[in-house]
Structure formats: structure tokens, C-alpha cells
Structure 1
Amino acid sequence: MLIAQLTDTHIRIPGKLAYGVVDSSAYLERAVAWLRALPQRPDAVVVTGDLTDFDQLEEYARFRSIMEPLDLPVHVIPGNHDSSVGVREAFPQIVARTGGKPDGKVNYVVEELPLRIIMLDSSVPKKPHGELGPETLEWLDRQLMKSRRDTVVALHHPPFLTGIRHMDAQNLKDAAAFETVIARHAHVLGVWCGHVHRTIVTNFAGRPCRIAPSTAHAVSFALAKDAPASFHMEPPAVSLHLYEPGRVVSHTCFVSPYDGPYPFFDTSNRLMG
């Protein structure tokens, strides 16, 4: 089974550019076209937050229209540029997944895939940092006790420091409590995040924890303590997660045009010289 993870699409209303520079809609359209052209189509798409730039219904509608040609199940959670309220209004099908509650955190479980995915809402209203809170952490623990199936947990804010100081100031504030819950459940194969617009991988509660790259701009790789908050237009990318029982293999795939493929061997099966 193959799952595509997109994150930090930052969709704006028509005619507006993210940060005055980034045509984020065009970049998402390119990512969708790339995914549609894959020989092995993904079984589902997970979007780990910051779907929009300003949490506007028109931005959510534009996001949905760009994603529609994929014709795949799309599972979303809010980031700090979104809101729980905005995501519920834009994706009414999520309300049923969250037990019919019309408000509160957008936490739900994707049960219908071979790999179980728990989607967590780490957004804090009108704040850049993330927090799950005791209620979500207790809910997560209960969901992980319900089933011993292979599971991944997805949220927007990473629960670890990356060394990029201005982003680390906005990470998950209750990461230690989150780690305690994850560590109790051996069937959790990994944690998927967004927020930092870069591919970053570390160990968390003894499992792989991976930040996916943005489909648009990248947060600058700058580890100096006094580095300013900035971004670069690095090649945009998506994460593709290949699942087999007991294991997830994750690939970073660039969606901008590039040369290739070139053969390693000629028609006589000799290595090209």
C-alpha cells in the first residue's frame, strides 16, 4: 500500500501569492499532476496541516478543487495557518469521523486502510505553536489500546527540535507527554508531521518521526541561533510512504521537472560506459 503525504500547501485566494512571492496553488497543481502520472497510484492522501494561508473558506474551496482530480481519499488535519473550525466547515465528512461532534479538536482514525492512521489536531487558535492537550492525549491512548494493528500517527507540529530556531519556538509544546503515550504502544510504526517545510527525520519514542517537505516553498536551512526567519524556493516535494506489515518505507519525491530517466545498461545488458 502506498500513501502520499502532502503538507503546508498554503493555498491563497485567486490573485494572491503566499508571502507576496509563492504561487502556492500552481505548486499544488503540479504536485497533483505528478501524483496522477505515477505508475503506481497512491491508495490515499494524508495532508498534515496548513492547507490554507489565512483559514478562509475560499482558500479551502480552492484547495479542494485542486485536489479533486486525484480521485483518491484525502484525509486532512489543521495546521497553525488553519483552524479546527475552518477544517470542520470545509470538510463536513470529518464531523462524522470525529464522532459527530460539531466543535473541538479534529482528531479521528482512518480505519479502512491496511495501515491504521490516527490524525491529531495540534493547532492552537490564533497561535503558531502546537499543543495536543490532555483530552487529545487521553483519546490517543484509548485509540491505541483499542487495536494492535500497525498504526502511524499524523499531526502538524513536530514533537522535536530541528535546530532551526525560529521554527523550534513553534513546535509541539506538550511533546514529552505525547512521547510518553507513543512509547507505550509498540504497534506505532512512526509519526508523520509537517510545519517546517523540510524533509527532517529523527528518532522519537523509539520510532521514526518524519517531517515532510512542502509542496511549495522551503524554510531556509539555517542553524545559527540568530538566523532570520526566511524561506527558499527549493525544489518542492511530497512524501510517499510504502507500507508492508510491520514496516513503513518513506521516500521524498521531487515534483518539479527534472531530467531522466536514463538507462544504466545498453540493449546488450552491458553497463553504459
Structure 2
Amino acid sequence: MKIVLFSDAHLMPGRMACGRDPFAQLSSALADVAAKHANAAALFVLGDLTHDGGAHEYGALAAAVKGFPVPVHFLMGNHDSRVAYREVFGGQGYVQGTVELDGIPFHLLDTLEEGQVMGSLGNGRLDDLERSLVRSRAPGFVLMHHPPISIGVPAFDLEGLSNRVDLHSCIARHSSKIRAVFFGHCHMPVAASVAGVPAFCIPSLVSPSMPVFDQPVYRSNPIGTVGYSVLLVDGPDFVIHNINLEPQPAAGRAYSQQEAAHVVC
């Protein structure tokens, strides 16, 4: 089974991120998937769908994926608005649940805390995951936006998941039912483990970052890659491929020093 993973699209009409047009980057990624991975069982987008959380941005996102050959599932990130998302895509409450594909559960978590950069699984969201894991008949995957662990980079660790200790305990209790955890937010590839379960950060579609280990600042990576990931599941085994996309600078313009020092997260 093949699964495609996007993260951190940061759609913002009329504005650039790191010298790139987020809508052009999303269109390029969707076209690449349609051409090469139309046989995927699903496309999951791990939050920060938009930059400002406006209904018009979600409307543009809905138009971009209309008629797409692969079923698309969205998660919430700190730049999103649950209310605006629901205005366009319908439904109510948290954007959370379990999608089962070929008998394998994909547990989608909503870590958005409106108005905050830091995420949370409070207000029953972690309890929902626990119940879903108890019901699961096969080991699956957990998907979320915020990092479920400290990655050793202060800018992200200070604004990560507020109740990650509780999440760790949940994962430890049900580790036999979780093959891996996927997350976004950091805009760079990261491989880790959570309570002994493998965890992977999906790169941003538009603005690559670099780790700064000694101070709590974000920094973009002017030579970093943007793109998406492909998950291949074969029985009890799985493989992750990071697919690099050719970035399209705005009007052929190179990075400025200011852009090189800042990343949208």
C-alpha cells in the first residue's frame, strides 16, 4: 500500500514564503503525485494548510484538490482555523478521527490550540486516541502536526505539544498497535522515536528550515529541499521516501538575507 504525506503548505494568497509561491508549490506537489502516485490509497496533509486561517484560503485549497485522483485527508496545524476550515469542508468539532485503509488504521490527531503556536491534545482528544487504539484490531500509524517529542531544537521544543508526556504514556501503553508516528511543523526531515515507536517529521512543501541548537530562533535553509513523503507499507514492514520538488523562486528572484534568516513555522 502506498500513502502520500504533505505538510506545512502555508497557503497565503498574494504572498511569498522564502521567495516561493505557496500555491505554486502545492500545485507542483499535487501534479507530481497525480503523475507518479495516482495509485496511492490516500494523501494526508499534516497541518498548517494555510498561513492565516482564512476561509478564502481553505476555499482555494478545496478547489486545488477537487477531482484529485487520490482521497485527501487534512489535519490542523497552529496556523489553521478550525472554524474557517469547517466553513469550507463541513463537519463540526475537532478535525480528528481514524481512517482505515486495507485494514490498517491511520489515527489523525487535531493538535491545534486556537490562537497559540503550542499544540495540545487536551479536551478529550487524547482520550479519543486511547479509545481508538483500544478498538484497533491491527497496528497502524498516528499522524499529527506538532512534534510529539523534544527534538533538541529550542525554537520547536518551546512551542511543541503541551501534553506530550501524556501522549508518551498513551503510546507506551499501546506501542504494539502503532507502527510509526508522523508529524510536521518543523519544516525539515527528522527521524526519532516516541516511547520506542519510530517517529518521522514530514518536510514542508514551501519553506525548508535548519536546526539551531543553541538559541530559540527559527532559521530557513536557503539550500534546503522542499517536497513531500511517500509511505510504502508491505505487510509488517514500511519504508519512507522523501520526494524533493524543484522550488520555484518568485520571478526568478534569489533569497534575500532577510529571507534566509527567517522561516514560516
**Structure having the higher Rg:** 1
Q: Considering Cα pairs closer than 8 Å and 6+ residues apart, tell me whether 1 or 2 has the greater RCO.
A: 2
Please say if 1:138 is aligned against 2:150.
no
Offset at 1:225? 2.4
1:64 counterpart residue number: 62
Match of 1:229 among 185, 200, 218: 218
1:134 deviates by: 5.2
- Runs of 4+ with >6 A deviation: none
For residues 40 and 107 of structure 1, the distance between their equivalents in structure 2, rounded to whole angstroms, comes to: 25
**Distance between the aligned counterparts of 2:196 and 2:4, measured in 1?**
23
* Change in CA separation of 1:77 and 1:40 when aligned onto 2, cut-off 3 Å: closer
**Which one-letter code corresponds to 2:236 in the other structure?**
G
User: Which one-letter code corresponds to 2:9 in the other structure?
Assistant: T
Q: What residue number does 1:41 align with?
A: 39
Change (3 A) 1:40 1:33: closer
Aligned counterparts of 2:123 and 2:195: Cα–Cα separation in 1: 18
Instruction: Calculate percent identity across the aligned residue pairs.
Output: 29
**SS state at 2:36 partner:** coil
Residue of structure 2 equivalent to 1:263? none
CA contact (8 A) 2:54 2:81 kept: no
- TM-score for both structures, normalised by structure 2: 0.86
1:121 and 2:110 correspond: yes
TM-score, scaled to structure 1: 0.84
Q: Name structure 1 gaps, 5 residues minimum.
A: 96-101, 258-273
Give the number of equivalent residue pairs: 245
| Structure 2 residues without counterparts, runs of 5 or longer | 248-265
Q: Distance in 1 between matches of 2:226 and 2:195?
A: 29
Task: Name the SS for the 1:231 alignment partner.
Answer: coil
Distance 1:136 1:217 in 2: 29
- Structure 2 vs 1, CA of residues 135 and 28 (structure 1 numbering), >3 Å: closer, same or farther? same
Partner of 1:220: 210
- Distance of aligned partners of 1:39 and 1:9 in 2 relative to their CA distance in 1, 3 Å threshold: closer
What is the DSSP-based 3-state SS (H/G/I as helix, E as strand, rest coil) of the residue aligned with 1:219? coil
1:206 to partner: Cα distance: 1.2
RMSD of aligned residue pairs (Cα, Å): 1.8
SS of 1:203 mapped into structure 2: strand
Written as runs of structure 1 = structure 2, the 5 A alignment for 1:160-199 is 160-185=149-174, 186-199=176-189
Report the Cα offset of residue 106 of structure 1: 1.7
